[in-house]
Structure 1
Amino acid sequence: MRVIIAAAGHQRKWGGYLGVPSHLAPLADGTPLLHRTIRQALTLTGDVHLTTPDLPAYELPAGLHPDVAGVTRHLRHEDYTSEYPSTRDLWSTTGRTVLMLGDTYFSDEAIAAIGATDRRDYIVFGRYEGSQITGTPYGEIFAVSWWPEHHDLLDRALASLASVRRVGATKRPEGWLLLRSIQGTPLAKHRVTRRHFVEIDDATDDWDFPADYDRHPATPAVGEPVHG
């Protein structure tokens, strides 16, 4: 299994909140979010790759984890439509690829579910609707999994979606559009199929906006970290 943690995306929604990128926002114990995610990824595999901007803040401390020296960091710029094309050269050609979003807080239970769901299909790990734990009012995608035989399918779907977005037909998030394209469901309909979607409905959540961070129970803004 290869895990790719995508932490090179633009920060327009985050807006420089706290003076750090959302990927490095501190948890209640002071740990940067990304450092926690890297430690979690290393419980799944030693084949961990990280995409980041070329900024010193993203350099990994030697004491982060005994195996942190094996984490490969790849520098990326903001000229990609999403995490999918920005990591295309890193997709595994021999086994399973797991793409994790770097601005997501993952519970340990979510990490276990991602590691255990190894069926050979395109799988999205996310929450279909809003969260009753964090108060986030919308569904989110946290991670995605696929195998080498899905690369051509993904390439074709991404190319098709790029054309749709270029003509301004939609501005919806590419992750949801890609899922709908692969499912064969309408791009404008928020719908998932059991074949391609694993529901994660706990404290796992994406920190796109400062408000997402402030209301999360694992951050200093609220109090004590939740279990996991």
Structure 2
Amino acid sequence: MTFFAGAQLSETAGVTKSAYLVIGVASSVLAASGGLQVNRRMRSREEIRFEAALAAVADHMGMLATQPDEAAALLGVIDDRLTTVVAKHAGPDARCAFYALESQGRYLKKEAMSGVPDDAPPGFGDGDKDGRALLHAIHQGDIVVVPDNRNANGNLSISLGGDYQTAVVAPVFAGDQPQGVLIIDAPKAGDLAKVRESFVRVFARLIGTSHAVGHHPATGPTAGPALGAQPGGGRPGAEASPAQRRQAEGDGVQRLGDS
């Protein structure tokens, strides 16, 4: 899969080239980190399914760049596939949803949801408490872990509906442009402790890149999310914040539950 992505890089450019690069990174991260917590035989099967899912995403990403009239439908397929992979990786009872920025960065609209029950809010806006908290998290640019919604100590507390106790909130960017947020949740505190930040970040970048391609003037409708120029709310050309540097450099195989 990594070889396939590398081959595509030599034939593409711009945001599409970035998409194939991230696909290669995703496959490498999974193989290197041992992200699937199963025996060797099952890991092999899961890796095959994982790579098949990414191959399908790569196909749709190529179509997204060349078939602008189909951008909305293709983005829907890509979002569904990627949120499904993340939810399955996170755990048997985990859910995952992607919310895209709209209204010049003032509203987050649900675009895809994987896991049951699907009772997630259709959106979050700057007029409600959860919406403001999520928009602030996107501004900061860091992945946020919510160990226990029942004891948030004034920090971010969020779920996709119901009384799910733990969550992960991952800002979604394409380069330095905010695209939305990826939310993962699970029923019990500790259920997401083994999910790796590097894995979540890769898929957040994949979704962000696909939306940048789909909404690029040359390939699809212009969305124009305007939450801030860079993760962390920086100005174009400004010195990168610590959060931006961590995003650029990655964090190896650190688990979300690690200190």
Q: Which has the higher helix share?
A: 2
Could you tell me the TM-score, scaled by structure 2's length? Answer: 0.27
Higher relative contact order, structure no. (Cα contacts within 8 Å, ≥ 6 residues apart): 1
